[in-house]
Amino acid sequence: MNSADTSIETSLSLVRQRIRKAEREALREPHDVTLIAVSKTRPAADLARAYATGQRQFGENYVNELSDKVAALQDLDIEWHFIGALQSNKSRAVAEQAHWLHTLDRAKLAQRLHDQRPSEMAPLHVCIQINLDAQPSKAGLAPDDLDGIAALARSIADLSRLRLRGLMAIPAPQTNTAAQGTSLRRLKALQHTLLPEFPSLDTLSMGMSDDLEAAVLEGSTMVRIGSAIFGRRAPKT
């Protein structure tokens, strides 16, 4: 975990080592898993330091922060991932500035993003958010709502300025790797169920600082790591 005595550069190196080790233990190819550095509440200067080590994918949870950092770091070839809850009245910034949205959970928002995505930009990559453990505090569709998930996937597939890429989840915290895997395994199973109809679903966005290893073992292709790189955040006020 990053601390006052551990640099961003060192923390990033340690996280990359964890990912590579987990890939080997899962018998997966090296660099099969993409690291998204979750930089919410961190200043643009911290992102620039991470960028200097080769990090290119950054995740933001708040629309205002995304816009500020896109402007501050516009000269860097960063791939921006929006990974927070997105209100419809703030969707334009994501449609115009992000490369990925991980938290799509309704067709109305998909249509809005499509309409707001500039025609000269590549399609916005999107993941459908799944609420694996029925957490009241988390958005997303229930994993057993196959009809609802498939209907949303079809609506996304029909929108030319969006590209359906995968599934995303934030499972309930667990105390050990085995318990974490039990929950995360459901997202992989859901992907397998949907793949025959939606072959573009090549992405599983799951895994954070505390369950990275379990996520890689269960098939994650993108892990979203914040505190292990940038340190624990102060409470948002």
Q: Which two three-digit tokens encode residue 183?
A: 């929950």
Rounded CA-CA distance 43/66 in Å is 11
The total of structural domains in the chain comes to 1
Contacts from 14-21 at CB under 8 Å and sequence distance 24+?
14/228, 15/212, 15/225, 15/228, 15/229, 18/212, 18/213, 18/228, 19/212, 19/216, 19/223, 21/213
74: domain CATH number is 3.20.20.10
Residue 108, domain member (yes or no): yes
Residue 85, domain member (yes or no): yes
User: 3-class DSSP state for residue 76?
Assistant: coil
Residue 237, domain member (yes or no): no
Residue 38, domain member (yes or no): yes
Q: Which two three-digit tokens encode residue 141?
A: 């569709």
Rounded CA-CA distance 69/157 in Å is 30
Rounded CA-CA distance 156/104 in Å is 10
Residue 236, domain member (yes or no): no
Query: Mind listing the pLDDT tens digit of every residue in the chain (237 residues)?
Result: 454 447 999 999 999 999 999 999 999 999 999 999 999 999 999 999 999 999 999 999 999 999 999 999 999 999 999 999 999 999 999 999 999 999 999 999 999 999 999 999 999 999 999 998 877 778 899 999 999 999 999 999 999 999 999 999 998 888 888 888 888 999 999 999 999 999 999 999 999 999 999 999 999 999 999 999 998 765 554
Q: Which domain holds residue 66?
A: 8-230
Residue 175, domain member (yes or no): yes
